[in-house]
Homo-oligomer: A and B are copies of this chain.
């Protein structure tokens, strides 16, 4: 009917408006066509052809523990050390992280080995102390839509690594990043870390297609957390290979000197010899030609 046709035209106009509003998102490639390269001193994240590794234990447990991993990271010629100090845990009775003490340990190990350090913050109140000790701030999957935290992170002058929510759509992920840019901070790194599906062979389902989509839709660096995507040591290497092949700007992997005794994520971290093996294999990746 004609009435219906007009209704459809009206809806089409609305969609048009929506499309044009999307064009103006600060994160959008339509807004800025060249890649954003996040730089901390001479370490660059997002430079084409130069992916970065983000390596470290799930939780900071002691200076000794972190130093061992930092030495291994340095040994591999890498630049970035990760470690959790404020840990979001499903149960209130699980280890909740060392807090500020953990940040200090991370800083100390970073300084000793010349590494940039990154750790997660979980509430706006953490930010002030976090920027004092960290080179980059991580916002975790459970807080991807903690909008007050995003706004707060948008107001600091440290790069922010934003993880995709447990069941966030790519569109929601992009809007979450927009919260940070809209508050003034343009140094944002996106991290695909697997989504929640019915499949239980892996802890989450790595949505590898999200990488090229995010690279197309935004100008931000995109990395892949192979540890949380899979939750399986035996899949870290193959998924890291896939991540690099598909164009990710980096890979995050959890390494612990003694995973069996880890206070969190004991099953999915690799130890230092396994990490050396992982790096060696990853560097030697060859793609079979069709």
Interface residues of A (CB under 8 A from B): 4-5, 8-9, 11-13, 15-16, 19, 21, 49-53, 78, 88-93, 122-125, 142-143, 145-149, 151, 165-167, 169-172, 175, 178-179, 182-183, 195-202, 205-213, 216, 229-230, 234-235, 238-239, 241-247, 251, 279, 282-283, 285, 287-290
Contacts and interface: CB of A to CB of B under 8 A. Distances in A.
Given A13-B5, A198-B198, A212-B235, A125 B146 contact: no
A175 B90 CA distance: 6
A284 to B, nearest CB: 9
B242 A213 contact: no
Nearest to A247: B238
A288 B50 contact: yes
Given A15-B8, A197-B205, A201-B169, A238 B229 contact: no
A242 B123 contact: no
Contact of A209 (B15, B49, B165, B235): B235
A290 to B, nearest CB: 5
17 contacts: A4-B19, A8-B15, A9-B12, A88-B145, A122-B148, A123-B124, A125-B148, A143-B146, A146-B146, A169-B199, A197-B197, A201-B210, A208-B242, A209-B229, A238-B247, A244-B287, A245-B287
A182 B8 contact: no
